Structure 1
Amino acid sequence: MASLYSRIGLIICIAMISIAHADDEIASNNSTVIHPQETLNNSTILTMQQISKVASDFAENGVIEKLINNSSNNNNALALSALRSCRELLSLAMDNLNKSLSTPVDTVEGRGSVKSRLCATGVTLHTCVDEFNGGLRDLVFQKLKEAIYRNAEVNKVMAVINSETDNLLGQDSADGYPRWLSDSDRELLLRGAKSSADAVVAKDGSGKYSRIWDAIQAAPRWSKKRFVIYVKSGMYHENVKVGADKWNVMMIGDGMDKTIVYSNLSNGGGQSTWESATFAVQGEGFIGRDMRFSNTAGPINQQAVALLSTADRSVFYRCRMDGYQDTVYAQSNRQFYRECHIYGTVDFIFGGAAAVIQKSFIFPRKPLHGQDNVITAHYKKDPKCDTAIVVHSSTIQASGDLTGVPTFLGRPWTPYATSVFMHNIINKVVDPRGWRPWDTSRGAPPPPDTIFFAEYDNRGAGASTANRVKWKGVRTNLSPAEAGRFTVRSLIQGDQWLPGTQVSYDPDL
């Protein structure tokens, strides 16, 4: 993919010019002072350079593609899908790093954004590795390990800045809206968005577009103004992507049982987990309301994503996500789900994001014979990333008869996996043990002590913690202060950006 290589090179050139200008300005003011922003930016540039060094290996006709094509392996289709996923993931990693370069860290909003972007970069690089199996996976890791290491070092720099700038942080605008939201955008959000939509999609021909994909292409690139797409009632058989250059898109349907987007791509069908998504969101500031996203591949086809989001400050309100294994892929950055219905079986809410699911319904459903249900599988390899999957003030109940099917709150995908359940109603569907090891084979080691699986003030027949697994990383007695770290305000800085979305939210416990 030559365009990936050239695009990464262009991003680095622009970034280095920006750094040079910043360096000149700093030097002219005080040649002996090293500004925290300068240190952060220089470290970020090193990570970008490492990605750039290996980009050609992932390109069309590059080293990895040639190895796959020359292999006699029967899974070549899946490996090629993984390679296509990696090309997109490397581009997203560069986008996250480039955006962090242009964001000052002397405000609450800026600091939260940069932290999110840097952690998203690490998750995205690891996701590229994890899309492969066997020897190819080892090769891809060797290609990316220096970039992964460099990004972890950038996170250390950011941690120092966080500790030293608490008293220097600015505030948002006095009316409660974040600064990035323009006056015209606020006015739009306060009006009926459907009636003022920029694009209308309808199966019956009453809108300008009949496909959601076409309406997204009409949205401006990198826009700070909200672009509203109204999707009327209907069944839309599409694989939709809101690209990384499509900022501040709002998509509104007629209800989770009326506006339905569906497809059936899956690992079993030859797609990587990344490429299987029915609806994928990458552009920051996305809002989805009153829609359903379904993957109909069924449990036999393994990983099959209904909704994937890498978008910072993404919101899903009154939406339904239907799938089996890997229904909701909250891959990275800050995400908020409110009054949603989420159906699935294995790891059906998973990823490395800082995601809060609030006032929603979680529905475990019947998996393949012999499978367990697992609600969450969080991905965190860097302890300095403040990320977690949080289920707050929601209800967990079975979808149908799950007799004989153990259902667990989560399992540890990575050494620092963090899942928190607080103020929920947990029905009897949840196994008394609560949490499941990643590997249940005989002789497998227990999860590392570094995981953080926590419950706080839940109710219902499945909420008793008396028989929970006795791992060091399982916390059944959080204090209010500890639980407070995982609220909308603390984990995703939602009080800084959610007011402008006009979506209800509870900032605290």
Structure 2
Amino acid sequence: MQFPQQFLFIFMFSVMIVCNVCESQNCANPPKWVTVSKSGKANFQTIQSAINSIPEQNSQWIHIQISPGVYTEQVLIPMSKPCIYLEGAGSQFTNIEWSIHPNLNATFNSQANNIIASGITFKNTLNAPVSDEIAITQAVAARIHGDKCAFFNCSFLGVQDTLYDEYGRHYYHNCYIQGGIDFIFGNGQSVFEASELFFSMGKNGPKRSGCFTAQERDSPNDPSGFVFKNCKFTGTKGNAILGRSLRAYSRVIITNSFLSDVVTPVGWGARTFAGHEQTITFVEEGNTGPGANKVKRAKWIKHLSGPELDKFLDISFIDKEGWISKLPSKIFV
């Protein structure tokens, strides 16, 4: 079959774009440095302007060092700008805040692969303060869509749908995630390690029930799932289930973690999939604390041990290629 000349040109142009995208995922070291400060004593005064300065299909780590301050801005990292390392001065010092909810917009919307952040708080202020008279609505603090993304020592603050772990393989280490309703949700294939999940309807918020996770795995071949290792599930006021199924094959695994009494005895919910729980994988193994008692748990949760459990606990669940070991070395200093 012969290609028309016009089609051949379009085909070759598409191949060039794909090759450029593939090349851009190498993230060569050493990183280039860019600084952000509200004082003006830096390359940029806003985080978004620093990101805008990065060339399309970037192929080298761009290290954006962000000085202490509250950055009241909505930040977008487009798919065409991979290999970015955002370093704050510590989650108690560097804050990105915005107030928005329509169309799953977020305070921090990261669409590219190979995005790293450390020492930053991402906050959606839409539902603050919360009261019995005010309806709570979706307010995403961070939306993570790209593959091979990692967050170290970061905080994610909101009330409903705080962290949209949308798609891709992600690693969260020593992070603090706060919310009240489905506050970690999405179809990500993610490991949360040594992190704290804090159930709260906001400062002085009402006593309401809620949910920690809402995972969206939608088929038996979908590799996604949330794995929590050595974490803390804590909170204040009200009761929360550990997770509910937003899709028929939802998967959440919690191991070697502390569960406070904020966790309700039933533990889990099937949502609209009641009666079809056999496809849902909700697992608790080796946990401690007053909320870890499984006597009154939903009877359909699964038990995993040995190799069945190890395949989720091993870092290869998200890192078969060794991408975590190739992150900029400054993260681990």
Distance in 2, Cα, partners of 1:226 & 1:14: 30
User: Superposition pairs for residues 79-478 of structure 1, below 5 Å?
Assistant: 180=26, 182=28, 185=29, 187-188=30-31, 198-266=33-101, 271-272=102-103, 274-275=104-105, 277-298=106-127, 299=130, 300-366=135-201, 369=206, 371-398=208-235, 400=236, 402=237, 405-439=238-272, 445-471=274-300, 474-475=301-302, 477-478=303-304
TM-score, length of structure 1 as denominator length: 0.58
Larger strand proportion of the pair: 2
For 2:120, the aligned partner's letter is: M
Mapped to 1, the partners of 2:239 and 2:320 lie a distance apart of 34
TM-score (norm 2): 0.87
5+ long unaligned stretches in structure 1:
1-9, 19-94, 104-178, 189-196, 505-509
**Taking structure 1 as reference, are residues 478 and 209 closer, same or farther at Cα in structure 2, changes over 3 Å only?**
same
Residue 15 of structure 1, CA deviation: 7.4
Q: Deviations over 1:458-478 (max 9, x none)?
A: 11111122211112xx11x32
SS in structure 1 opposite 2:271? coil
2:324 is aligned to: 498
Q: 1:102 deviation in Å?
A: 6.4
**What displacement does 1:17 show?**
7.1
Deviations 1:295-332, CA, capped at 9 Å, x for gaps: 01115341100011001100111000000000000000
- For 1:416 and 1:445, the matched residues in 2 are separated by 12
Structure 1 position 255, deviation (Å): 0.5
Cα distance, 1:437 vs structure 2: 3.2
Once the two structures are TM-superposed, the CA of residue 481 in structure 1 deviates from its matched residue by: 1.4
The separation in 1 between residues aligned to 2:12 and 2:181, in whole angstroms, is 41
> How far apart, in 2, do the equivalents of 1:14 and 1:382 lie?
33
Q: How far did 1:495 drift? A: 6.2
Change over 3 Å in CA distance of 1:301–1:465 after alignment to 2: closer
**2:115 is aligned with what amino acid?**
F
Cα separation, partners in 2 of 1:297 and 1:494, compared to 1, 3 Å: farther
Q: Which amino acid aligns with 1:238?
A: E
Q: Are 2:306 and 1:480 equivalent residues in the alignment? A: yes
Deviations 1:239-258 (A, max 9, x none): 10011011100010100011
Structure-2 separation of matches of 1:278 and 1:17:
32
Match of 2:126, as an amino acid? A
Q: Secondary structure at the match of 1:198?
A: strand
Q: State whether residues 261 and 289 of structure 2, in contact with CA within 8 Å, keep that contact through their aligned partners in structure 1.
A: yes
- The AA in structure 1 aligned to 2:108 is F
Q: Is the 8 A contact 2:83 2:113 kept in 1?
A: yes
CA RMSD of aligned residues (A): 2.6
Contact 1:306–1:327 (8 Å) recurs in 2? yes
Classify the secondary structure of the residue corresponding to 2:278.
coil
Q: How much identity, in percent, do the aligned residues show? A: 26
The residue type paired with residue 437 of structure 1 is A
Structure 1 counterpart SS, 2:322: helix
The 1:237/1:388 distance shift into structure 2, 3 A limit, reads same
Q: Is the 8 A contact 1:356 1:488 kept in 2?
A: no
1:371 Cα offset (Å)? 4.0
